[in-house]
């Protein structure tokens, strides 16, 4: 029977192997920064220049306290973990950086990099969800297997993966903190892209809470009982255009040659805004 694989969900210390190739008694060696290449599968996409500058200033004063982790490749050394420290060390003008070496396959290096980053608290929700997706895709893992590896509930993994269903523009809102994860979870439950955009605009314009957003989402997805426009794509398109223009839910209800246009509002202030817009 093959030996049971150890869990990777125990933090960076679990990534430092026994018997690694070490160059001095302190357990690491000073590696030339220019000999290291970044990890192409780095989950983190957003490296704040202000944060890097702050870390670089700290490194100038106190040095790099936590060594980075690298692996050998045919072209030299490649980062497994510690890209933020590596970037900040370059910004601080260092020529070398403390590093541990671990000889791993490309797939193992990818898994280690993903797991190490996922255990940190400063990935944005889209980066975290993308990392989960990459783990599942690259290693044919289930959500349950991913949750076990990183030490989080399966429901947490599932809820974050759902955020990747959002349009790219809404994902960017989440990355840029215009929307919270709670708002995004409500938006992803809405099937209509136009309704998503309408509600997104209201969230930002009116600084809606998640509870208020949930309430509006239910209204946007509820069709009046007398609405007879199923299959009438022209009327649906007109209603969608009006909805985007007015920034609120619009319904066109038609019976025979007659009908009505329903423009909804959710506060006195919104009513005043709509009246000004229509007049």
User: How far is the CA of 232 from the CAs of 106, 237, 251, in angstroms?
Assistant: 53, 9, 13
Q: What string of DSSP letters covers 24-89?
A: STTS-EEEEGGGEE--TT-S-----HHHHHHHHHHHHHH---S-EEEEEETTEEEEEE-HHHHHHH
60 CB burial (10 A radius; 0-12, 13-18, 19+):
middle
CA angle 191, 155, 43 (to 5 degrees): 85
- Report, as residue numbers or ranges, the catalytic residues: 83
Q: What span, in angstroms and rounded, lies between the C-alpha atoms of 1 and 179?
A: 49
């Amino acid at each position: 029977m093959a030996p049971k694989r150890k869990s990777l969900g125990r933090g960076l210390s679990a990534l430092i192997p026994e018997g690694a190739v070490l160059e001095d008694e302190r357990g690491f060696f000073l590696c030339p920064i220019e000999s290291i290449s970044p990890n192409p599968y780095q989950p983190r996409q957003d490296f704040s220049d202000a944060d890097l500058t702050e870390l670089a200033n700290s490194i100038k004063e106190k040095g790099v306290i936590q060594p980075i982790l690298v692996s050998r490749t045919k072209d030299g050394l490649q980062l497994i973990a510690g890209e933020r420290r590596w970037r900040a060390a370059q910004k601080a003008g260092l020529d070398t950086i403390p590093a541990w070496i671990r000889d791993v396959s490309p797939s193992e290096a990818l898994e280690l990099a993903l797991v190490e980053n996922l255990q940190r608290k400063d990935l944005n929700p889209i980066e975290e969800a993308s990392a989960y997706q990459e783990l599942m895709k690259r290693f044919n893992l289930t959500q349950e297997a991913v949750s076990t590896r990183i030490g989080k509930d399966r429901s947490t993994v599932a809820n974050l993966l759902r955020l990747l269903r959002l349009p790219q523009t809404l994902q960017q809102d989440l990355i840029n903190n215009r929307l919270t994860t709670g708002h995004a979870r409500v938006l992803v439950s809405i099937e209509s892209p136009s309704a998503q955009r309408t509600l997104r605009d209201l969230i930002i314009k009116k600084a809606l809470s998640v509870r208020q957003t949930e309430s509006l989402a239910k209204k946007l997805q509820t069709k009046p009982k007398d609405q007879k426009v199923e299959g009438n794509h022209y009327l649906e398109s007109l209603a969608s255009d009006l909805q985007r223009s007015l920034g609120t839910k619009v319904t066109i209800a038609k019976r025979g040659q007659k009908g009505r246009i329903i423009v909804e509002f959710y506060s006195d202030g919104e009513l005043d805004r709509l009246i000004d817009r229509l007049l």
